[in-house]
A and B are shown apart, each in its own frame.
Chain A
């Protein structure tokens, strides 16, 4: 876990007077911000602290004088930085500023429709609120209002109502300055100026939802939320995002036990005030039809039957008791739940056979995770200070979108070099002006540089070793950015064979003593433990094989994330499945125990920085239990208590354990795999998951899915010429397992390479090719 380190920098402070009160603020502070610090609220629309000042709405006009010289007319306080000797009079003390503000407000309202009663923004609308606080009580406008067609969908998930728009340009500035997706712009001119898209290109930005959130009126609304609730009917709970390891702070709005919307929360050191559309809009999975409500046990008829908790726990315990059992947790569980699994494996099952990696993995990675990732302290703030960021097996816009925003913020100012090992320049890479290079070609890193390593690097043996070599020789910082929200927490909790909680090596006697003392047991298993793939293999062995496993406890794992045969490996074993919804695993499980979704429980995610993102239960009325609570009951049933009755108790126990201060596992370097050589129609396939794809947690939200990037296969000009295809033509990618057919997108890349999305419509690689990378054959379809 990480704490911010602040470096002392000399900042010039400036003292000004606002409405008779002195305030001292850093040089460069805008007058409107200085006023905020005094609790003086100057009305505003276009102003947003994270966007470049616009000075467009003119709502924040104040009177200013500097060293006795008064500006001849009121100034926009959102564009003027403080200066020594400045005296500011806001609407509170200047009749001129007050009249100016009331005048602007009246003008903003002359063309604004009076549809507040049916507007989603009503009740939380800056225009409504400030019209009350800083406007005239009655309009003098008797003319004809401007009208437009309303609403216009500018993407499947965002609707535009131009009549309501006050043309503050927050949305267009966000799209350009923050997301780098200038797909919405101000069009036309004068009184007809309006926000719009180009007619054939919708606003398909991964970050479009932020424009809905920062719109100061009801001009931009979310399709899914439209007409669903009034803000005062919602109960808001601060929460953390479960969709990736970026660590977004969120707000969840609940009405009658259902999530109606989620908003980006404010956290200056992590997501600032933004989030991605997946985090914002992918929450329907909680209420989908496949959601499990009751425990189930497989009967003699081979079917699952609903049953009571005591009976289900009894059957589960019976199936596990005295058996050689392992634990697979997946990467989505909270720190507390992962801790539950970790402790359950060691105490209730007496094994180190536990792994959270529901994805391709290697021993090299396990060693890297224990030796490097678990202790990594790189933060967002290090990205802010970086001179050069190297992305290895990591595609930030798709795999950790807030990391992308943070990088883009600095790239836009021309102050950051980005290098990526991706096989082609993705849209994200193009926005980051990323140079493409192999890890062996990268140089010029300093101690201010950051090497960001994605989980996919584990798919190429030796790649993590090469990354570490780059870090070691340059003194750059390293960051491990897994895709899923729970991975860093699972690592911290010891939900992996080589580590106990707090980074304690399983192989270390003292570390084991440390934990066994804390847990009140005499010993802990000292075996090496096995990885996900080894566990799956062991489940297929004859029961008389000493390495065989008889049972497995699985929480939130999709077998196709691991390998094409993972599911078949699970067919003849006793499975206890802790799950949200019916899945490939529940279909073969013997006991199914329904667990709480993120909004139904409290918990903590550790983001990629290792920063704790704790959240409380948002849906108070939910009776669903967090995994750890269920595991604790199951352990009790097994007669080997793990004593974790609540999430809060678990949190306290984790905190009391702290981090290991003894010797760490040393990284076990692996040789770099020689590159495959290909010829003819062969190509080397690589892939990653696009942000919006067929991921389980995105289910049920068609409006969101409508903005996903369509799946295309990227190939070089050379290969395209050879195949006789051009952009949009179909090609067939096949191997001995199967094939997929995709439209082509020609990119600058090596002739030997091909790239396809990992889990998108028409491009589900594990299911159809049995692999997410490797040598394939490519022909024109």
Chain B
């Protein structure tokens, strides 16, 4: 969609956070995904104009980082961790199962536009393996069945809540806005820490084992 004056004002606010405007390119690309769901040519041109860069310079940045999508993804973008540890613990089986279930493969979106799949690398939650991220929210300790249920729920508009995250799963665009620095006020929802995170703490509290 074309950028409205409201969008432009938001972009200006983002730019103002940095000593040098070019630094705002990454949050602006996240913002572009919040508006359009992916990085469109129009947003590349708009960002170039805002930051006084060439369109090539913006392209160079947007294509470097894997979170920036060059084509639309689903409302619920499902990332299955297939890095070694998660893969071994079940990530490969989960990926195989969910893609067969949905009939799509890596970087593809279901025809209803609801769910897309990506093989993702380590997401810093190895003690919760196998891990699946949906719109970059944690879904810990997954199984093939739990992920099939997850995507089924997502397709009918009832995805389960993230394990460590807000009470309700937000959409891809909504979460992209958060990464652009636009608060959704949900920081206080969810647990402080999952059980594995507190394992050592709780053992210590019991005086040893």
Contacts and interface: CB of A to CB of B under 8 A. Distances in A.
The answer to whether A and B touch in the complex, with CB atoms under 8 Å apart, is yes
Interface of A: 181-189, 196-201
A187 B63 contact: yes
A433 B63 CA distance: 29
B58 A198 contact: yes
Interface string B40-51: 010011001000
A197 B56 contact: yes
Contacts of A183: 54, 56
Please name the 3 residue pairs, one residue from A and one from B, whose CB atoms are nearest each other, closest first: A185-B60, A198-B55, A185-B56
Given A189-B64, A198-B59, 12 more contacts: A182-B54, A182-B56, A182-B57, A187-B59, A187-B64, A188-B64, A189-B63, A189-B66, A198-B44, A198-B54, A198-B58, A201-B56
A164 B136 CA distance: 37
Contacts of B53: 182
A200 B55 contact: yes
A730 B1 CA distance: 27
Interface in B132-190: none
A199 B41 contact: yes
Contacts of A200: 41, 45, 55
A198 B40 CA distance: 12
A196 B54 contact: no
A575 to B, nearest CB: 49
Contact of A187 (B41, B48, B60): B60
Interface of B: 41, 44-45, 48, 53-60, 63-64, 66
A187 B45 CA distance: 16
Nearest to A183: B56
Contacts of B54: 181-183, 185, 198, 201
B34 to A, nearest CB: 21
Contacts of B64: 187-189
Contact of A184 (B56, B63, B66): B56
A564 B53 CA distance: 41
A14 B64 CA distance: 41
A199 B48 CA distance: 14
A181 B55 CA distance: 11
Most buried by A among B41, B45, B56: B56
Contacts of B56: 182-185, 196-198, 201
Contacts of A197: 56, 59
Most buried by A among B48, B58, B60: B60
Nearest to B52: A430
B59 A196 contact: yes
Contacts of B60: 185-187
Contacts of A199: 41, 59
A188 B59 CA distance: 9
Contacts of B63: 187-189
A189 B63 CA distance: 7
A184 B59 CA distance: 10
A188 B60 CA distance: 7
A187 B55 CA distance: 12
A185 B53 CA distance: 12
18 contacts: A181-B54, A182-B56, A182-B57, A183-B56, A185-B57, A187-B60, A187-B63, A188-B64, A189-B63, A189-B66, A196-B56, A198-B58, A198-B59, A199-B41, A199-B59, A200-B55, A201-B54, A201-B55
A199 B60 CA distance: 12
Contacts of B59: 185, 187, 196-199
A200 B59 CA distance: 11
A198 B54 CA distance: 9
Nearest to A181: B54
Nearest to A189: B64
A200 B46 CA distance: 13
Nearest to A430: B52
Nearest to A201: B55
Contacts of B66: 189
A180 to B, nearest CB: 10
Contacts of A181: 54
A54 B45 CA distance: 28
A201 B56 CA distance: 8
A661 B69 CA distance: 71
A198 B45 CA distance: 9
Contacts of B41: 199-200
A184 B60 CA distance: 9
A185 B62 CA distance: 12
A181 B57 CA distance: 10
B51 to A, nearest CB: 12
Contacts of B55: 198, 200-201
Nearest to B64: A189
B65 to A, nearest CB: 8
A370 to B, nearest CB: 45
A321 to B, nearest CB: 62
Contacts of B44: 198
A707 to B, nearest CB: 15
Nearest to A184: B56
B62 to A, nearest CB: 9
Nearest to A192: B63
Contacts of A185: 54, 56-57, 59-60
B118 to A, nearest CB: 15
Contacts of A184: 56
Most buried by B among A181, A183, A185, A196: A185
B198 to A, nearest CB: 36
Nearest to B59: A198
B120 to A, nearest CB: 15
A200 B55 CA distance: 9
Nearest to B55: A198
